[in-house]
């Protein structure tokens, strides 16, 4: 049973391509394109109903045509992070970059190697955190103020 099938069984299958806010969608699109270029992967991306359990995840399976894996960001996670602070965008960038890190692991078949002989997935998660940190510190990441504090206020733009 795939992870998306498991989500279907729990009623979390409605995948959405939009936040419902065109300006926020544009910011996400630019950020995700930059991540795809930096990490040299092309995952599908969608929002889903994460209910009262804010979450984001990366799936090995591709649910959109011509993609490599799938990144899902829960709408609860999205709005919780945006609500938490004026800099709600930075945690969202890190969360998405972490999930892209898992897509890199899947694409390079290192997910299993990182977990081999381990009782937990700690190595895999730390490696995804490392890749997210790389993304934030890379020369491909620039931050520019856009909008106001009620939405994602910084977007990542390529040089």
Question: Model confidence over 121-134: pLDDT tens digits?
Answer: 999 999 999 999 99
10 DSSP assignment: T
> How many domains in the chain?
1
Cα(17)–Cα(93) distance, integer angstroms: 17
Is the pLDDT reported for residue 6 higher than 80?
A: no
Cα within 13 Å of Cα(34), Cβ side = 24
At residue 21, the pLDDT reads 83
The model's confidence at residue 80, banded by pLDDT at 50, 70 and 90, is: confident
pLDDT beyond 50 at 147 = no
Cα 73 off chain centre by? 6
End-to-end CA, the chain: 42
Mean pLDDT, to the nearest integer, of 53-82? 90
- For residue 67, give the DSSP letter: -
Per-residue model confidence (pLDDT) at position 141: 55
Distance set, CA 20 to CA 4, 11, 31, 54 (Å): 22, 21, 17, 18
Average pLDDT of 50-68?
90
Half-sphere exposure (CA, 13 Å, Cβ side) for 99?
24
Strand, coil or helix: 154: strand
What is the reported pLDDT for 104? 96
Range of the domain at 133: 3-156
Count of beta carbons in the 10 Å neighbourhood of residue 148? 8
Q: Indicate the pairing of strand 154-156 with strand 143-145.
A: antiparallel
Q: Looking at residue 145, what is its pLDDT?
A: 40
């Amino acid at each position: 049973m795939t992870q998306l099938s498991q989500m279907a069984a729990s009623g979390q299958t409605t995948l959405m391509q939009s936040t419902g806010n065109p300006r926020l969608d544009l910011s996400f699109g630019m950020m995700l394109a930059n991540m795809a270029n930096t990490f040299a992967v092309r995952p599908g991306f969608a929002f889903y109903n994460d209910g009262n359990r804010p979450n984001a995840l990366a799936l090995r399976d591709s649910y959109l045509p011509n993609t490599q894996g799938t990144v899902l960001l829960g709408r609860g996670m999205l709005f919780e992070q945006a609500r938490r602070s004026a800099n709600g965008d930075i945690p969202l960038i890190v969360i998405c970059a972490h999930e892209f890190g898992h897509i890199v692991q899947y694409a390079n078949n290192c997910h299993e190697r990182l977990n081999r002989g381990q009782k937990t997935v700690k190595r895999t998660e730390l490696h995804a955190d490392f890749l997210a940190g790389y993304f934030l510190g890379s020369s491909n990441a620039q931050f520019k103020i856009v909008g106001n504090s009620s939405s994602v206020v910084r977007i990542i733009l390529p040089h």
